């Protein structure tokens, strides 16, 4: 089996340290050395505040800037292209309506957009009760026009969180990376990952939960320490 693992390597020492979930303010971030590259995020499009302020052109600019990103996410996490299109429509309406809730001091606009998109896609998936299929490249070759304003890769560069997340991901063991990849990129549930890989369900839960908490800490926000969870807690 490709993903056979040594279970005793995967669990933390069962430390009992408890940390209250809270957000760090900027001074604490700098003091602790977890400096979030806010300048990178804040040089991005800054479209959502303008939508919240009622600027007409910003709404359309939002489509031009984030259309590719949202479409890529929808394609990955939707079972069909037509459902992906419906999802994209709902996501943009969510974005416009929630534009006032975006706080540029805590995350880049790109990350916020991706978060809103993922939430909607996860909710839609639950409603559809279907698993996403991998996108077919042949479909991508049809009926598209290039994004007029920003390339996807430029948006990712502007999202400082993505670089931090990538670095944090590299700190995880390869098997955990693969499991986290299946959960985040492909939207697979814990049982689906366990079935696909042969990894025990409890281990899959541990990998995903601890992995995400680890990445959240890497983004500079203090939360419960991933290593402090007992095996019993994480697999519940």
Regarding 20 and contact with other proteins (CB under 8 A), the answer is yes
Q: Does 172 bind other proteins (CB under 8 A)?
A: no
User: Is residue 182 within the footprint of other proteins (CB under 8 A)?
Assistant: yes
Name the one range near other proteins by CB under 8 A: 6-14, 26-34, 42-50, 167-175: 167-175
Q: Which two tokens stand for residue 187?
A: 């939207």
Instruction: Report, in Å, the least distance between residue 200 CB and other proteins.
Output: 15
Instruction: Name residues whose C-beta falls within 8 Å of residue 151's C-beta, 6 or more positions apart in sequence.
Output: 68
| Residue 136 interacting with other proteins (CB under 8 A) | yes
Binding of other proteins by 114 (CB under 8 A): yes
Which positions from 26 through 45 interact with other proteins, judged by CB under 8 A? none
Q: Is 59 in the site for other proteins (CB under 8 A)?
A: yes
- b/e per residue, 25-62, with b = 16+ CB within 10 A? eeeebeeeebebbbebbeebbebbebbbeeeeebbebb
CB nearer to other proteins: pick between 45 and 180: 180
Span from 7-15, 25-33, 42-50, 217-225 in contact with other proteins (CB under 8 A): 217-225
* By CB under 8 A, residue 5 contacts other proteins: no
Among positions 79-108, residues that touch other proteins (CB under 8 A) are 81, 85, 88-89, 92-93, 96-97, 106-107
Choices 7-15, 26-34, 42-50, 227-235 (CB under 8 A): range interacting with other proteins: 227-235
If one asks whether residue 135 binds other proteins (CB under 8 A), the answer comes out as yes
Chain centroid, CA 234 distance in Å: 20
- Please identify which residue in 44, 47, 125, 194 interacts with other proteins, judged by CB under 8 A: 125
CA distances from 1 to 4, 5, 217 (A): 6, 9, 32
Would you give the distance in Å from CA 126 to the centre of its chain? Answer: 17
**In 16-108, which ranges are continuous DSSP H helix?**
26-32, 38-42, 48-52, 56-77, 81-97
The DSSP call for residue 135 is P
Q: What minimum distance in Å lies between the beta carbon of 30 and other proteins?
A: 19
Residue from the set 7, 144, 171, 200 that interacts with other proteins by CB under 8 A:
144
163 near other proteins (CB under 8 A): yes
Which residues have a Cβ under 8 Å from the Cβ of 6 and sit 6 or more positions away? none
Q: How far is the CB of 136 from other proteins (least distance, A)?
A: 6
CA distances from 53 to 21, 44, 58, 102, 107 (A): 32, 17, 9, 12, 19
């Amino acid at each position: 089996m490709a993903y056979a693992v040594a279970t005793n390597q995967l669990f933390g020492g069962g430390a009992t340290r408890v940390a209250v979930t809270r957000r760090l303010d900027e001074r604490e971030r700098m003091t602790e050395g977890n400096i979030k590259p806010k300048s990178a995020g804040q040089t991005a499009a800054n479209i959502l505040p303008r939508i919240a302020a009622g600027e007409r052109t910003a709404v359309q600019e939002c489509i031009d800037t984030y259309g590719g990103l949202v479409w890529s996410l929808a394609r990955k996490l939707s079972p069909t292209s037509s459902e992906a299109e419906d999802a994209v429509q709902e996501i943009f309406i969510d974005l416009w309506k929630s534009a006032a809730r975006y706080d540029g001091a805590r995350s880049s606009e790109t990350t916020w957009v991706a978060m809103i998109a993922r939430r909607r896609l996860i909710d839609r998936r639950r409603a559809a009760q279907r698993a996403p299929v991998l996108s077919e490249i042949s479909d991508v070759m049809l009926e598209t026009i290039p994004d007029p304003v920003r390339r996807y890769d430029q948006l990712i560069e502007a999202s400082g969180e993505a670089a931090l997340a990538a670095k944090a991901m590299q700190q995880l063991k390869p098997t955990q990376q693969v499991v986290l990849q299946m959960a985040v990129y492909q939207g697979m549930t814990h049982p689906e990952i366990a079935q696909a890989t042969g990894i025990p369900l409890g281990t899959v839960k541990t990998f995903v939960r601890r992995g995400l908490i680890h990445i959240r800490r890497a983004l500079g926000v203090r939360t419960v320490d991933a290593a402090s969870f007992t095996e019993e807690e994480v697999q519940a």
